[in-house]
Amino acid sequence: MRVYTKKELNEYNQSLTYDDVSLIPTEVSRIRSRTEAVTNCSFLGLDLSLPVLSSPMDTVTGFKMAKELTDLGCLGILNRFDSSLDEVINSGENKNQIRGVSIALTTGDDIIEKLAEQNYVICIDTANANNKAVLDKTEYVKKKYGVKIIVGNVAHGSTLQLLENAGADAVRVGIGSGSVCTTSIQTGIGLGQVSSLLDVLFARNSNNLNIKVIADGGIKSPGDVAKAISLGADAVMLGRMLSGTKETPGEVIKYNGQLWKKYRGSASFGVKMKNEFIEGEETMVAYKGTVKNVIDSISDGLRSAMSYMNCFNLDELRKTETYTVLSNSSFLERLPKI
């Protein structure tokens, strides 16, 4: 069996995603219990207990979700599609309760100024950050308001220097990998998330850039979170994993004796309300209870991975250089059989 370094994975002859790779513990661990592993980190000037951000989707991050994630030591990015943003602006909520919001390219100065006054992290929420309009908007907002800015999304590191030069503090990496995203099907564009992340991270290192990297899309389990961080991501952004929880927008629906909640992509018909440029699906997901249950599960899984990999903190985990590439049968063998 071959043990791959990050460089070798980046040079692999096929595009790889999380199900294609596995972490390989090769050292005797110093960690007696996973409780010794520390997941705290600093991200865009915020102290987080866990490097988790919520996706600014209208069925994931509303007012309640953003507040709860703040309480749990994560970062909720409030969606821009419903009245949540107006509620925050008009009610005068501050960064102690809501710390991140998303805006569109068309969002006006009146709203951005109010967000900047409360020192929110601003996410310019677009499907393609490799776009002159995105660069122009980023540069304008950064120069005028000096806020922390997240842009997205990219699948490759070729324009990372331009994004940092424009004022982006962080970039969302992943195109077409979300569970309700149909971009790759509709456009033929996209890379496996592992390959996307590595390409962006190597571009950042080779150009000595400071921009933070957010693994956005394709994460289905705490193990995928551990893989993303080990590859070098500064944080992960979650949609599907947080969907269906009590704090997500929307009502709980009872159907066939089971509880469900709605989940849809930001480019779905239900969001756009017009049948053009649809690159997202709509579905129902099983009700999961409170989002704290999900966050606790991620924290436990990440700490366990760190204990296996002999890592006391996230910086040590990001230095991981021991991976294997799984065959399809190897991946299936690792799934629980019930």
- Residue 39 tokens read as 């997941």
Task: Place 278 in a pLDDT band, splitting at 50, 70 and 90.
Answer: very low
Q: What is the pLDDT of residues 80-134, one digit of tens each?
A: 887 777 777 776 555 568 899 999 999 999 999 999 998 999 999 998 999 999 9
Evaluate whether 266 touches 237 at the Cβ level (below 8 Å): no
Average pLDDT over residues 42-70: 95
Q: With 90 as the cut, is the pLDDT of residue 302 above it?
A: yes
Listed in sequence order, the residues at least 6 apart from 14 whose beta carbon sits closer than 8 Å to its beta carbon are none
pLDDT, averaged across the chain:
90
- Residue scoring higher pLDDT (265 or 25): 25
Question: SS3 breakdown of the chain: % helix, strand, coil, rounded to 5?
Answer: 35, 20, 45
Can 181 be counted among the known catalytic residues?
Answer: yes
What would the DSSP string read from start to end of 246-308?
A: TTSSS--EEETTEEEEEEE-TTSHHHH-SSSS--B-EEEEE--B-HHHHHHHHHHHHHHHHHH
Residue 285 buriedness (CB in 10 A; 0-12 / 13-18 / 19+): middle
Average pLDDT over residues 137-149: 98
Helix (H, G, I), strand (E, B) or coil at 335: coil
Q: What is the pLDDT of residues 156-205, one digit of tens each?
A: 999 999 999 999 999 999 997 765 676 666 777 778 999 999 999 999 99
Q: With 70 as the cut, is the pLDDT of residue 274 above it?
A: no
**Residue percentage of the chain with pLDDT more than 70:** 90
Q: What is the pLDDT of residues 34-46, one digit of tens each?
A: 999 999 999 999 9
Annotate 262-273 with three-state secondary structure. Answer: EEECCCCHHHHC
Task: Place 229 in a pLDDT band, splitting at 50, 70 and 90.
Answer: very high
pLDDT at position 268: 43
Q: With 70 as the cut, is the pLDDT of residue 67 above it?
A: yes
Q: What is the pLDDT of residues 307-324, one digit of tens each?
A: 999 999 999 999 999 999
- Residue environment code for 141-167, b if the CB has 16+ CB neighbours within 10 A, otherwise e: bbeebebbbbbbbbbebebbeebbebb
From 41, 74, 181, 311, the catalytic residue: 181
pTM of the full predicted structure?
Answer: 0.91
Q: What is the pLDDT of residues 109-118, one digit of tens each?
A: 999 999 999 8
- Residue 91 tokens read as 């009610």
Backbone angles phi, psi at 84, to 5 degrees: -60, -45
- Measured from the Cβ of residue 283, the count of other Cβ atoms closer than 10 Å reads 15
Quote the CA–CA distance of 134 and 140 in Å, as a whole number. 10
Q: What DSSP character marks residue 313? A: B
Residue 254 buriedness (CB in 10 A; 0-12 / 13-18 / 19+): exposed
* Residue 180 exposure: Cα atoms within 13 Å on the Cβ side: 27
Q: What is the pLDDT of residues 283-301, one digit of tens each?
A: 889 999 999 999 999 999 9
Q: Which domains does the chain have, with CATH numbers?
A: 6-325 (3.20.20.70)
**Residue percentage of the chain with pLDDT more than 90:** 75
Q: With 50 as the cut, is the pLDDT of residue 272 above it?
A: no
Q: What DSSP character marks residue 24? A: -
Evaluate whether 200 touches 160 at the Cβ level (below 8 Å): yes
**Amino acid sitting at position 274:** K
Quote the CA–CA distance of 326 and 311 in Å, as a whole number. 23
pLDDT at position 62: 92
Q: With 70 as the cut, is the pLDDT of residue 57 above it?
A: yes
